[in-house]
Structure 1
Amino acid sequence: MSKLPDASGKLPSEFELIARLSKGIRLSRRTILGIGDDCAIVSRPRGDTLFTIDSMVENVHFDPRWGTPEQLGARALEVNLSDIAAMGGRPTACVVNLAVRDGISARTLDGIYAGLRNAAREASTDIVGGNITRARELSITIALLGEIRRGVMRRDAARPGDQIFVTGTLGDAALGWRILAGKLKPRGDARRDRGARKYLVERFLSPQARLFAGERLAALRPAPAAIDVSDGLMQDLGHILERSGVGAEIEASRIPVSPAYRAVMGNSLVHALTGGEDYELIFCARRGHSEAELSRRLRVAVRRIGTIVRGKRLKMIGASTPTIGGWDQLRSRG
């Protein structure tokens, strides 16, 4: 680990901080050796291994003033867990790189790790190591291992005739971000608007990876093509279409949005179509599955929104197609 200088007397030494943050971490029997050595040792998974990594950077993905440190820590892990969910896997172990800027207190780091521990415990995932370093901005990078037990979902598995489904509702997190960033002004009834905004902000600050739903979907035969909604419905569905060499027809009237979304946006679907960070699942299953049956199987509301077709065109039925873009890591947010 690189040396972490004292941050204006507010932080303990690097190794004291490591000991402090890792004190409450509990490990499962599949972890042979956790934090404290040059490498962790984990037992061999039962099936193939999934491996993903993601970062959350201050002023790019979050503003530390918007939520609690616990929410920030949990969110950093949930966005990684969502990648495992999109493949139908089960998370097993992760390592955490924490980059700390001046002005961050040990109490804030305690909160971040408390959120990480809680999210890891709920997902049956071991935190087995990591790194702490000094940086100009606070960032949390997590590398996560998972295993495939029932089957795997890939972006290149969509076929003409498949039905396109999504879990949950779309656009909530994008509106939550805009509310926190001061980019969405109140409208309509103040009391109703206040309740809606609270819900939307919570959807942004505290996403929930669809791990159970992903694993149940992967057990279908054939396993659906799937992706999580991190960058927006249009952009993420576009990745499936590109990898599978197919097109799609989407029915605007079937895009699922929450009552809170409707309260704030009315009939506009722009954020439901292009907003990201909902971490719901888009999947393309063979015909024969109903919304009711899938909702029971996955234990989350499921809506059919369209059909995979031949060709490479993404067509929106019932509304003008918005800009096919969404969140881009290398461009500023609007």
Structure 2
Amino acid sequence: MGPDSSQDAQTVSQLGEFGLIRRVTSGRGQSPGTLLGPGDDAAVLSASDGRVVATTDVLVQNVHFRLDWSTPHQVGRKAVAVNLSDIAAMGAVPTGLLVGLACSAEESTTVVDGLAAGMWEEARGVGIDLAGGDMVTSTTLTVSVTALGELEGREPVTRSGARPGDVVAVAGRLGWAAAGLAVLARGFRSPLAVVGAQRVPEPPYEAGPLAAAAGATSMIDISDGLLADLGHVAEASQVSIDVRGDQVEIPQRLIEVASALGANPQHWVLTGGEDQALAATFPAERSLPQGWTAVGTVGRGRGVTVDGADYDEQEGWQHWR
């Protein structure tokens, strides 16, 4: 991490705002795309083609994460990953992050250290920095991340470009985070593969720009569930989407976990969120780029079906529902 281990037992109030900022930013260096990093009134990042892609997600303790289920380091990685997957879903590459942290005065600096380490690790994995942010007092531990990206001369791939006749394809894993949530909710901490998927998603970051370069007509990251997020594409594009059940892989590990819990693994794959996979539509005459698998087709009409029929309990996650 960097900070002296003798400070580990300190609280946020003992260290102070500026001491805490120094603690999570010192010794990190910066990537070439960060022209001016933490320490001034604002960061300065390069934008090679004059356009900036921006997205924000907020993670609240006991709503989006639980520290009895995940370590602060895992929460930090997840906070960054859910934002970077949105950048990838636009066909862009990430350039930097801005982070807001709200916590109580009595929060241990070890928690903040873990969050920071996880965020830096996930950011450095794609070659970017935590370029700046803010820290404030709150009774609820909250992490807000704004991710910035660039299109490298390409047009953004939006949700509204799907056309009848297009092929629907996915990149990344589906259903694993939902399976992990089911395991954790039952009080178990294994199998580690599925529990780990709930704690830290593994978005296919490179698949987004690859899809854009291959002519994807629409794209979205799968945070609420495959069917729910394809529903957003269908609505924005004013088309219908039919998913072929036999084309959506159900991994053997999920089948085994579902059998042990008395659950339906296909339901996890079709409706489970938080894997941060990507879904996109492509012209039928084009080959799918590496890492993408066809799972359905776009047609005329409205809505999302599975094998031509409505799927029970299709809706994914919604706040305030």
Q: Taking structure 2 as the reference length, what is the TM-score of the superposition?
A: 0.89
Contact in 2 for aligned 1:35/1:128 (Cα 8 Å):
yes
**2:236 aligned residue:** 243
Whether 1:261 aligns to 2:254 is yes
Any idea what the Cα deviations from partners look like across 1:54-97, whole Å, max 9, x if unmatched? Answer: 01110100101212221111110000000001111011011100
Which residue of structure 2 aligns with residue 55 of structure 1? 58
CA deviation after TM superposition for structure 1 residue 265, in Å? 2.1
By how many angstroms is 1:102 displaced? 5.1
Distance 1:114 1:313 in 2: 42
The 3 A distance-change label for structure 1 pair 120 and 272 is same
| 1:278 CA drift (Å) | 0.8
- Aligned pairs for 1:73-222 (under 5 A) are 73-101=76-104, 103-149=106-152, 150-182=154-186, 194=190, 197-221=191-215
Mapped partners of 2:310, 2:235: distance in 1: 21
> Percent identity at matched positions?
37
Q: Secondary structure of the equivalent of 2:57?
A: strand
Q: How does 1:183-332 map to 2 (within 5 A)?
A: 194=190, 197-221=191-215, 223-266=216-259, 268-289=265-286, 294=288, 297-298=289-290, 300=291, 302-317=292-307, 321-331=311-321
Deviations 1:247-280 (Å, cap 9, x if unpaired)?
A: 0121112222222111122564112111100111
Count of paired positions: 306
- In structure 2, relative to structure 1, the CA distance for the partners of 1:10 and 1:268 (3 Å cut) is closer
Q: Tell me if the contact between 1:66 and 1:180 (Cα under 8 Å) persists in the aligned partners.
A: yes
Please state whether the residue corresponding to 1:243 is helix, strand or coil.
helix
Partner of 1:64, secondary structure, is coil
Q: CA deviation at 1:43?
A: 2.9
Q: Is the 8 A contact 2:166 2:282 kept in 1?
A: yes
Find the aligned partners of 2:83 and 2:10 in 1 and give their Cα distance.
33
Q: Is the 8 A contact 1:162 1:285 kept in 2?
A: yes
For 1:137 and 1:246, the matched residues in 2 are separated by: 41
Counterpart residue type for residue 273 of structure 1: L
Structure 1: distance between partners of 2:16 and 2:117 = 19
User: Which one is further off, 130-139 or 233-242?
Assistant: 130-139
Partner deviation per Cα, 1:213-269 (whole Å, 9 max, x = no partner): 111111123x33110110001110000000000001211122222221111225641
Q: In 2, Cα distance between the equivalents of 1:32 and 1:165?
A: 37
- With over 3 angstroms needed to count, the CA separation of the structure-2 counterparts of 1:226 and 1:57, relative to structure 1, is same
Alpha-carbon distance, 1:289 to partner? 4.3
Judge which range, 148-157 or 159-168, deviates more.
148-157
Aligned to 1:237, the other structure's residue is in SS state: helix
CA RMSD of aligned residues (A): 2.1
Structure 2 unpaired stretches of 5+ = 1-8
Moved more, 304-313 or 98-107: 98-107
1:67 aligns with 2:60: no
Structure 1 residues not aligned, in runs of 5+: 1-7, 187-193
Specify whether residues 16 and 169 from structure 1 end up closer, same or farther in structure 2 by C-alpha distance, changes over 3 A only.
closer
The TM-score normalised by the length of structure 1 is 0.86
Question: CA separation in 2, counterparts of 1:180 and 1:26?
Answer: 37
Q: What letter corresponds to residue 10 of structure 1 in structure 2?
A: T
What is the DSSP-based 3-state SS (H/G/I as helix, E as strand, rest coil) of the residue aligned with 1:210? coil
After superposition, give the CA deviation of every residue in 1:161-208 in whole Å (9 maximum; x if it has no partner): 00111123311101111212227x89xxxxxxx5xx221111111212
Q: Distance in 2 between matches of 1:177 and 1:268?
A: 13
